[in-house]
Structure 1
């Protein structure tokens, strides 16, 4: 950090001590829930899920790490309209290192508890058990952070397509993956523009405390923007770190 940046961070710390404490105490979900423009994005995704198509369809939310894919989908997943429309929900974290068998066991445990012999069932048997349970449901299943086609292809066999308006929502960094899946729609999530990132900062640190964001902090914001490329969660973490460093200086 340059001498100039250090001085600006010091000013920030002197001016925002109480704000820093409240921001650091906030849970990750609290910090992420109010990302700039999220309601508009949620509504766009909601339209895709509630489009009236009876066949199983897949909606991809595609974007680089830290852009807010999971945050966006969480807000949609917990929305009232979604909860009223579907009657079965499951959120499955896949990640880069996954075990299809463990994922299937987890999905079955959520759906029906722990049936006898669950731990010794073959992958094919696990798929059959899950399929049987889901075939009478109108389900919304989120597969969060899928990296490759094989993960989707393996799980797809366990997901019934019985004209019951079922939906699968997938978050991924892999644009090519989304293009390989039949009957899918792709929603690209791009990094925030600079002005929206600045709005996010002011909202998180100042607006909720009924204070005005001082203009001299714009220089700090611009420097942070260069470091995280418009990724909203990265910005929030850097802002928190900057405030904490200033307080301890």
Structure 2
């Protein structure tokens, strides 16, 4: 099983002299750090070969971290409204006693930080269907929708992490709505994506609509679940994610919300 394909943690203890060492990152007097910073790994890409999970764990052991492990973490477990699963490797320097195997120790630490899941509907449900024609700012939307995630996102609310005072500072102190534009969509494609059920992808479409290529294409977000992983290169991939209710791609602002950027962040770009 590849490191990023599982859902459980792996602990590991091995002979530190049996495998090639990773170059240690030193903190004092040439010694390795007491705990390795998490090393994340993306999920396996189609057609690429990946070493088994034991390979990096053996390398950690050879670098002086015999008590090490790996676990798969989803951003949706920590209050972010998208899945974004990543494998995180961790280890404790030999000679440092935490009185536990690294796997269960870090699993417990991660469990203590978990937050309630936030759905797509909770994250962007206050944003109206109306989008900007191009990149121009438009009137900031009013809403009666309330949840703790929106308290942190909306400019006019105090949240757990951001206050109503500091959020507009990033938006030139004006409570207007930026980045509410979506990538242009042809009428033919509108008709195609209208056939997508909530949470479905292009591979669910009839064969006369979808030719079988790119099975991950045209993913309609499910309003009651976290989003699929949202990538940063929105000028290229904005047409990968379909709005949960409307027959259009998501806007830059909706994508930003799903990545937990509050509305005070303004993305200045000539590409969209």
Q: Same fold (TM over 0.5)?
A: no
Q: Which has the higher helix share?
A: 1
- Normalising by structure 2, we get a TM-score of 0.24
Higher relative contact order (CA 8 A, sep 6+): 1
TM-score, scaled relative to structure 1: 0.25
